[in-house]
Amino acid sequence: MNRKILLVVGVAVILALFASVGAYRFLSEKSQAAEQARLKTVGIVVAAIDIPLGSTINPNQVVIAAWPKDLHPKDSFGETRGVVGRMARREFLRGEPIVSSKLVPLDKSGAGVLSLKIPPGMRAFSVKVNEVVGVGGFIVPEARVDVVVTTAANSHNQQDQVSKTILENVQVLAAGQAIEQKEDKPVTVNTVTLAVTPEDAERLALASNDGKIQLVLRHYADSDKVMTAGIDKSRLLSSYRNAPISPPAEPVKAVRPKRMAKREASASPPPAPTPKKYTVEVIRGSKRSEEKFE
């Protein structure tokens, strides 16, 4: 009886050993396969930082990272030069692969790109400018400006003009057809596109058609709102009208030396000139006479 029990136990132990060895081999082979699969990677371009929608990708925003060969996106890029300079049509998070489907196509030539740069809830409004209105060509994309309108104060008197700041801290979306500043020099353009709210778009439309628009460049970090009362010609000249009038300057008297003044005082006045006398002979018939005149 004891022999049978020992035999059964021995067989069970042997089977357990075989099962353990088989399980160990199976797990080892699986881990080796996983390790080999992990080692089969490929380098693709991923976002080094968060890339917002509508921005142009620069070299500092992307890196090459190892990605599983069988899991990397098919439209990803193996080199950064295929990505740099392209515009993001979607937002990229840090570590996310840069794929072609989320970039603006190269053959679009900028079509539809401006709409990607419009902030949510805003509208793009273009105004005509010249070198003066455009601040000498220094208004570039991403700059901040104020909008000043000069128009008639009332419809009865067109000569009564008033100037007023109607919009402040407005983002410039494009200068002409350029949506990015590529050169650090002023460029004169015919239009400037601004990002405004729907209500501000109505104000800007009325101002541009009824009066003259002037853009005022401001510091990019200056976002303070300044409430102005506007100004007309009477208020413009009032400061000069109320200015005090200075009295006319007195003539400068010549100062003579004391010696010369004493000499002039002691000297006797010059004698009066002797009047000249004229003698005229008058003949009256046989008589002659002389008449004297002074």
Same structural domain, 84 and 150 = no
Q: Are residues 99 and 161 in the same domain?
A: no
- One domain, residues 130 and 98: no
pLDDT tens, position by position, for the chain (294 residues)?
Answer: 566 666 666 666 676 776 676 666 766 666 666 655 556 888 999 999 999 887 788 999 999 998 888 888 888 998 999 899 888 888 899 999 999 988 887 765 455 677 778 888 899 998 888 766 566 667 888 889 999 988 887 766 666 788 888 899 999 888 887 766 666 666 777 888 999 999 999 999 998 888 888 888 888 788 888 888 888 777 777 766 665 656 655 655 555 555 555 555 555 566 666 666 666 666 666 666 676 666
Whether residues 56 and 76 share a domain: the answer is yes
Answer yes or no: do 80 and 127 share one domain: no
Domain boundary among 221, 241, 261: 241
pLDDT digits (tens, 9 = 90+) for 169-193: 999 888 887 766 666 666 777 888 9
Domain-embedded: residue 61: yes
Domain shared by 125 and 199, yes or no: yes
Say how many domains are in the chain: 2
Does residue 287 lie in a domain region?
no
Same domain, yes or no: 60 and 154: no
- Could you tell me if 131 and 197 lie in one domain? yes
Residue 145 is assigned to a structural domain of this protein: yes
* Domain co-membership, 87 together with 161: no
3-state secondary structure the chain: CHHHHHHHHHHHHHHHHHHHHHHHHHHHHHHHHHHHHHHCEEEEEEECCCECCCCECCHHHEEEEEEECCCCCCCECCCHHHCCCCEECCCECCCCECEHHHECCHHHCCCCHHHHHCCCCCEEEEEECCCCCCHHHCCCCCCEEEEEEEEECCCCCCCCEEEEEEEEEEEEEEECCECCCCCCCCCCCCEEEEEECHHHHHHHHHHHHHCEEEEEEECCCCCCCCCCCCEEHHHHHHHHHCCCCCCCCCCCCCCCCHHHHHHHHHCCCCCCCCCCCEEEEEEECCEEEEEEEC
Q: Is residue 166 part of a domain?
A: yes
Q: Based on the domain organization, do 233 and 122 belong to the same domain?
A: yes
Q: Provide the pLDDT for residue 201.
A: 92
Q: 75 and 95 share a domain?
A: yes
User: What pLDDT sits at residue 245?
Assistant: 58
Domain-located, residue 36: no
In a domain, 130, yes or no: yes
Are residue 124 and residue 64 in the same domain, yes or no?
Answer: no
Choosing from 79, 104, 129, the residue where a domain stops is 104
Domain that holds residue 128: 113-241
Q: What is the pLDDT of residue 109?
A: 45
Identify whether 80 is part of a domain: yes
Q: What is the pLDDT of residue 198?
A: 93
pLDDT tens, residue by residue, 132-181:
656 666 788 888 999 998 888 776 666 678 888 889 999 988 888 776 66
268 in a domain, yes or no?
no
